[in-house]
Amino acid sequence: MRASRVEQFGAERKRLQELLETYAGREMKRFLSLDRQVYRDGALSARTKELLGLVASLVLRCDDCISYHVLQCHDSGVSTAELEEAFAVALVVGGSICIPHLRRAVALWDELDGG
């Protein structure tokens, strides 16, 4: 049986992250640590921060980042309605160039929702 896109992405990201951390020096490790820390609950919830990360990733058109944040949003209980509003913000900020990335993000969300 073929692995789902979610499973493939998760496995490949984990493998590459472990490889990156093998090569990472002190400065890279500091940045990676900061990245993990920023998404923790604070004045903004971790859930809200994931939505912000998703919007930024859509505007910057980074498919790996988009996939990661879609998965994190799903895991943190973001609703489809909340996701759609975040997508709308990204589209307004980033313009029509974001549409192909939105398509892939919606397809991933649909897979997560059992579609």
pLDDT value, residue 70 = 97
- Residue 33 backbone phi and psi in degrees, to 5: -65, -45
Please tell me the pTM assigned to this model. Answer: 0.91
How many Å from the N-terminal Cα to the C-terminal Cα in the chain?
18
Lookup: tokens for 76: 């943190």
The total domain count for the chain is: 1
Which range marks the domain in which residue 14 is found?
5-112
pLDDT value, residue 2 = 60
pLDDT value, residue 5 = 86
Closest among 1, 2, 25, 9 to 107, alpha carbons compared? 9
Q: Which amino acid is at 22?
A: T
Lookup: tokens for 20: 């990156």
Spatial separation of the C-alpha atoms in residues 85 and 62, rounded to whole Å: 19
Residues in the chain predicted with pLDDT less than 50, given as ranges, are: none
pLDDT value, residue 83 = 97
Q: What is the pLDDT of residues 46-65, one digit of tens each?
A: 999 999 999 999 999 999 99
For the domain that residue 45 is a member of, what is the CATH number?
1.20.1290.10
